[in-house]
């Protein structure tokens, strides 16, 4: 039986203008090869509605699975979700489940969920959400198309969420703990914890806000109880 076929659609003027060098194509290519899925075609298009809709339709009809990257942020030129919904004759509006994720995230950060941020809760009706353990705003799957962020750390985390569902592996789950310390303080204890839980993957995503340093520590695996244990230990290592 031949390998399943996949395609990728990269959305973004910044790639086509040469301002940014795309990193997601090479990453996805390597991951799919490891998973026994053939990446047969990649297209890069600009933030243009007709171009995106046409490319999504063509690729989703020609291949078993399609991955997109880019264009799902908070700004006016992030039109990917609208275009994908249009390609599947679905409507795209703020959805309660996505809104709840963002509300909880911004409440924790003490940041207002304003109109721009709320755009990231606009998800087609028939889509299922893709977990974003790095920055919360979800991706989504509609039909055979997986719609993911362009920021490489988020793209990679979303690929890790989606791939097991395609290969029949156990789905990856994640929990995130925010630690208000610099990564230099976190790295040592986190390394020791990672050795204690070889079945889990632990990632650190640093941020700086109002002059304070911190990091979101994401722990991923397939066994929820094990992740619970690891998160509890981590919280004990870094009391607030």
d(C-alpha 201, C-alpha 64), whole Å:
29
- Residue from 24, 43, 186, 220 binding a copy of itself (CB under 8 A): 43
- Residue 123 three-state SS: strand
d(C-alpha 135, C-alpha 119), whole Å:
15
76 binds a copy of itself (CB under 8 A): no
Q: Helices (H) and strands (E) in the chain — how many of each?
A: 9, 11
- Residue from 3, 4, 35, 44 binding a copy of itself (CB under 8 A): 44
166 binds a copy of itself (CB under 8 A): no
22 binds a copy of itself (CB under 8 A): yes
Alpha-carbon distances, residue 148 vs 69, 128, 192, 217 (angstroms): 5, 12, 32, 20
74 binds a copy of itself (CB under 8 A): no
Smallest distance from the beta carbon of 173 to a copy of itself, in angstroms? 26
82 binds a copy of itself (CB under 8 A): no
45 binds a copy of itself (CB under 8 A): yes
- N-terminal to C-terminal alpha carbon distance within the chain: 54
Which part of the chain contacts a copy of itself (CB under 8 A), choosing from 39-47, 107-115, 166-174, 215-223? 39-47
């Amino acid at each position: 039986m031949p390998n399943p076929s996949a395609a990728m659609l990269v959305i973004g003027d910044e790639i086509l203008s040469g301002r940014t060098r795309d990193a997601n194509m090479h990453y996805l290519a390597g991951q799919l090869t490891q998973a026994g899925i053939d990446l047969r075609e990649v297209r890069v298009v600009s933030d243009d509605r007709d171009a995106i809709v046409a490319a999504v339709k063509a690729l989703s009809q020609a291949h078993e699975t399609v991955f997109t990257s880019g264009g799902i942020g908070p700004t006016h030129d992030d039109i990917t979700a609208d275009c994908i919904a249009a390609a599947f004759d679905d409507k795209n509006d703020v959805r309660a489940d996505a809104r709840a994720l963002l509300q909880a995230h911004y409440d924790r950060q003490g940041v207002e969920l304003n109109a721009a941020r709320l755009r990231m809760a606009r998800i087609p009706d028939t889509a299922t959400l893709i977990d974003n353990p790095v920055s919360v705003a979800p991706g989504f799957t509609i039909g055979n198309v997986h719609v993911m962020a362009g920021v490489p750390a988020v793209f990679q985390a979303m690929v890790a969420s989606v791939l097991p569902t395609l290969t029949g592996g156990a789905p990856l789950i994640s929990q995130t703990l925010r630690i208000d310390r610099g990564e230099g303080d976190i790295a040592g204890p986190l390394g020791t914890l990672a050795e204690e839980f070889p079945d889990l993957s632990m990632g650190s995503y640093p941020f700086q806000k109002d002059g304070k340093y911190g990091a979101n520590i994401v722990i991923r695996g397939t066994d929820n109880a094990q992740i619970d244990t690891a998160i509890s230990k981590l919280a004990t290592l870094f009391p607030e």
